[in-house]
Structure 1
Amino acid sequence: MTVPTYTERRPAPPAGRPGLAAQLLRRKPIGQMVNEAETGHGGTRLVRSFGVFQLTMISVGATLGTGILVILGESVPLAGPAIWISFAIAGLAALLSAVSYAEMAGLVPVAGSSYSYSYATLGEGMAWICGWCLVLEYAVSVAAVSVGAGQYVNESLAVFGQFLPDAISQPPGDGGVVNIPAMVIVLLAMVLLVRGAKESAWINTVIVVVKVGILIFFCAVAFTAFSAGNFEPLLPMGAAGVSAAASSVFFSYIGFDAASTAGEEARNPKRDLPRAIMLSMLIVTTIYVLVAVAAVGARPWGWFDGNEAALVKILEETTGQPWIALVFAVGAVLAIASIVLTVLYGQTRILLSMARDGLIPKIFGRVSARTGTPVAGTLIVGILVAVTAGLVPLGALADATSIGTLFAFALVNVAVIYLRRTRPELKRTFRVPLFPLTPILGALMCAYLMANLGADTWVTFGIWMLVGLAAYFGYGRRNSRVAALSHEEYCELSRPESSTLSTPEQTKAELS
């Protein structure tokens, strides 16, 4: 007797469904996820075209952004000359979760990132919460980052004595009516993603190389004014100041998980995804530490207090050339473009996985046979994010993305522990070192950083979760494909042997 996979079944009538508690705990077999990635849902699958280089550039593009251009003015006064130690500590904290992502990406090489990892280990309930957090993280962070485009476009135009009126270049609440540059940058990214993932990846690679080059250029110029005396005393604010600054700059590392959303478009995901995640962390941490050392070496740490555009001012004062502002303004626009492109890409792939599971409308899971991309889902997400960026004051909602991100990170650490305990026989292309200490510390670090976020942020996050619960009970619970399986079919698909399958042929043989 052949047991049908749940992607071939229509949702069963409500009477045939498991109870709420049982449904929330139902896990999606890893083998079934891999099977879907190979065959696609509905007969069309994503195109595998990424190597380790493109995957690394996706993560670097989503991580290395405008934050480093302005964050020193806020963080150096907290730590003093030891700010470079704060960046190293924050990088280490992010690495605790990054290694867990690397292990899970090798085990579950699909498009859903931490949503899929949670579904395979913690069940549908936690997977939905994780997916809903990712919707907030990706969509709102794209809008929040793109809002700054108008300011940097004006800084570029100012070199030529031109500027855009505030009404069309600033967000509502800051003197603007509609932020045209923000909307344009999102819509351009949307068009690129619709055309094809391979083309978008190469454009992102070019942009990433340019913005890395700009930061290296800053280091080269700043080191010409380097003074070792600027590092004495190294810890004027003590160890507590270094820790406070590390918490502040930690969010500069958010985005390294972007490569994990490309699991179904990587040519060799089990090998390349872990490598890309770890390599991107190495690149970003090295650049951040170098920029911090170069900046403090060029100016005493007290000089940074109140200097939001510290890097630009250091270059202007060191070179005596005002056009240097143009270089960094263009670099900031490119940084925004790269983040928008890669994060919008990740958003559409996570929604594709959720739609494939029946938890959100199936239109987000449709893949074009011509382009090999989720065209409809990309258009819907792109337009909604563009409108948000252009018309909606983001405020505390943007801050709430931090909670969503950290919550997803914590779940991935838990997922690693769960699979190590329950499925030790699974072949892992990357293994978290110092298990179980590393994932435990990673989860605790995420919880600590979440606890230090403001009350307003928690209130916004709570409201978002209530909306998510309404969406789940209104749509996801009734349309879940895992819930559509009978108890016997679910048990059959959940057998350990089924969870190690990697091809459709093996799946059919095992289920027969």
Structure 2
Amino acid sequence: MRAHALPRPRRDARRRVSTPTARLRRTVGLRSAVALYVGAVLGTGILVLPAVAAETAGPASLVAWAGLSLLSLPLALTFAALARRQPVAGGFTAYIVRAFGTRWGAIAGWLFLAQVPTGTAFVGLLAASYLAAPFALGRDAQFLIAGAFIALAYGLNLLGLRLVGAAQAVATVGVLGLVVVVVLASVRDVRADAFAPLAPFGWPAVGFAAVQLFWAFVGWEAITPLAEEFHSPERDLRRASVLSVGIVAVVYLALATVTVGTHAYGPEASGLPPFARMAERALGSSALVAVGIAGGLLCFTPLNAYVAGLSRLAYALARSGDLPAWVGALHPWTGVPHRALGALGVACLIALGATYAADLHGADLLPISTSSFIATYVLSMAAAVRLLRGADAVLAAVGLVACVIVLAFVGALVAWLVAVAVAASLYSGRAHRAIVRAA
């Protein structure tokens, strides 16, 4: 809507109306920033990935955890530098558009959307496994719970309802508390022989474990839109990044070490979800109910917000001509992009059904999703190298090289990434040529 079409405010109201030059209130200090960072990164991965990585690479999976923890530092500092030096609205795709143009922005958007079906199915199955743990429900029941879980997340968003951030904060704090208790209680069961042989599946398996674990380290870009609300962004963004990376690294490495040291993974384990196994061993079967509820809530609250954000990304891509226009339709009553939500929801349920039919597990879907995340981080770091200067550009280059190295281990999935990128490029180019001809 054009500016002149807006109604003119009454004279006495003009002083109360925000103008385009108004600044957001600076309410975010160092402690708040660290809480936001840690909350954005720590999530569903903490419930399952230590065991998944250990099954892939054995005790050497700890090398992948340590390597990705180190990689997090240049990633977090680079996104913080972008927020300080190149503030733009619109998230990571805005930086890519600024650096390389709209076509590359479309490619990044498509790559991000490409992981939605498998990523959502993974989270749904993870939540179902924890909710089912106290009742010893089987595979069929867990897939039904996962389907209902996904349908609920999309249904709430279709109604325009979102869970408040406080719910995610409560779930995160609750799970972190359980992690601390379980880790401390499990230390006595750690055995030295559980760390030998160090790399039973060879060292290349560590690289593939890193691809799986990348899911646990996505989120460092989430705080960049809030830079304007920092009391002192020049000082606090960098400090918050370093502190948050340290906290996340300690939590992940502690849990991964105890998981390996107690051998709470593999087919000989009890059949419970990974973290639930450890909780039962350390605290008894009575802990399963608390772990199940906390695990389900930790999965659902970010999924609810995740679905909302993805539907808005699809809407934005449709509005810019990088997806079919019908995807961008808004519901006349709720004002939500209902067609985008419907299309994504159906795709997620199809992915869940295909997983069931192929007799796969949720963890089998991880590489598809994480490969897309890694590719978008490669593009983000490349954009940062172009946009930043000095030491910030060097850090971005380090992050870029590290992400490319991890990307090299996705194997045959690179063909999937190339196919998505080519499709996005062709569609975006055709759409923009049509816009130019119409003009």
TM-score, structure 2 length as denominator?
0.74
Q: Is the contact between residue 326 and residue 339 of structure 2 (CA under 8 Å) also seen in structure 1?
A: no
Pick the aligned partner of 1:144 from 114, 122, 134: 122
Displacement of 1:67: 3.1
Displacement of 1:278: 4.9
User: Is 1:439 aligned to residue 396 of structure 2?
Assistant: yes
Instruction: Give CA deviations for 1:424-478 in whole Å, capped at 9, x if unaligned.
Output: 7xxxxxx63xx52x322322222222222132x3343344334423532453454
CA distance in 2 between counterparts of 1:249 and 1:354 reads 28
- Unpaired stretches in structure 2, ≥5 consecutive residues: 5-17, 356-363
Instruction: Look up the match of 1:122.
Output: 100
Instruction: Give CA deviations for 1:188-228 in whole Å, capped at 9, x if unaligned.
Output: 4665xx457xx62222222221222221221122124345x
User: Is 1:384 aligned to residue 343 of structure 2?
Assistant: yes
AA paired with 2:417?
A: F
Instruction: Look up the match of 1:400.
Output: 368
SS in 2 for 1:376: coil
AA paired with 2:255?
A: V
Displacement of 1:242: 8.4
Q: Is the contact between residue 113 and residue 350 of structure 1 (CA under 8 Å) also seen in structure 2?
A: no
User: Is 1:179 aligned to residue 139 of structure 2?
Assistant: no
CA distance in 1 between counterparts of 2:23 and 2:121 reads 26
SS in 1 for 2:246: helix
AA paired with 2:168?
A: N
Displacement of 1:386: 3.1
SS in 1 for 2:203: helix
CA distance in 2 between counterparts of 1:205 and 1:305 reads 31
CA distance 1:152–1:115, change in 2 (3 Å): same
Q: How does 1:153-232 map to 2 (within 5 A)?
A: 153-158=131-136, 166=140, 169-170=142-143, 179-188=147-156, 194-195=160-161, 200-226=164-190, 229-230=192-193
CA distance 1:78–1:357, change in 2 (3 Å): closer
AA paired with 1:76?
A: A
User: Is 1:468 aligned to residue 435 of structure 2?
Assistant: no
CA distance 1:165–1:403, change in 2 (3 Å): closer
**Higher mean Cα deviation, 327-336 or 138-147?**
138-147
AA paired with 2:380?
A: V
Instruction: Look up the match of 1:451.
Output: 408
CA distance in 1 between counterparts of 2:233 and 2:44 reads 31
Instruction: Give CA deviations for 1:83-133 in whole Å, capped at 9, x if unaligned.
Output: 444312121123333322221122343442221001111112212211221
User: Is 1:340 aligned to residue 297 of structure 2?
Assistant: no
Q: How does 1:8-23 map to 2 (within 5 A)?
A: none
SS in 1 for 2:74: helix
Instruction: Look up the match of 1:3.
Output: none
Hey, which of these two has a bigger chunk of helix by percent? 2
AA paired with 1:207?
A: A
**Higher mean Cα deviation, 258-267 or 212-221?**
258-267
User: Is 1:294 aligned to residue 258 of structure 2?
Assistant: yes
Q: How does 1:345-360 map to 2 (within 5 A)?
A: 345-348=308-311, 350-351=313-314, 354=317, 359=322
Computed over aligned residues only, the root mean square deviation of the Cα atoms, in angstroms, reads 4.5
SS in 2 for 1:205: helix
CA distance in 2 between counterparts of 1:126 and 1:440 reads 19
CA distance in 1 between counterparts of 2:293 and 2:225 reads 28
CA distance in 2 between counterparts of 1:353 and 1:288 reads 34
Q: Is the contact between residue 364 and residue 376 of structure 1 (CA under 8 Å) also seen in structure 2?
A: no
TM-score, structure 1 length as denominator?
0.65
Q: Percent identity?
A: 19
Instruction: Look up the match of 2:70.
Output: 92
Instruction: Look up the match of 2:51.
Output: 73
Aligned length: 410
SS in 2 for 1:179: helix
CA distance in 2 between counterparts of 1:86 and 1:475 reads 41
AA paired with 1:104?
A: L
Q: Is the contact between residue 72 and residue 292 of structure 1 (CA under 8 Å) also seen in structure 2?
A: yes
Q: How does 1:211-360 map to 2 (within 5 A)?
A: 211-226=175-190, 229-230=192-193, 235=198, 240=203, 243-244=206-207, 247-248=210-211, 250-257=213-220, 259-260=222-223, 262-263=225-226, 278-297=242-261, 299=262, 304-306=265-267, 307=269, 309-319=273-283, 321-348=284-311, 350-351=313-314, 354=317, 359=322
SS in 2 for 1:109: coil
Displacement of 1:406: 1.4
Q: Is the contact between residue 140 and residue 398 of structure 1 (CA under 8 Å) also seen in structure 2?
A: yes
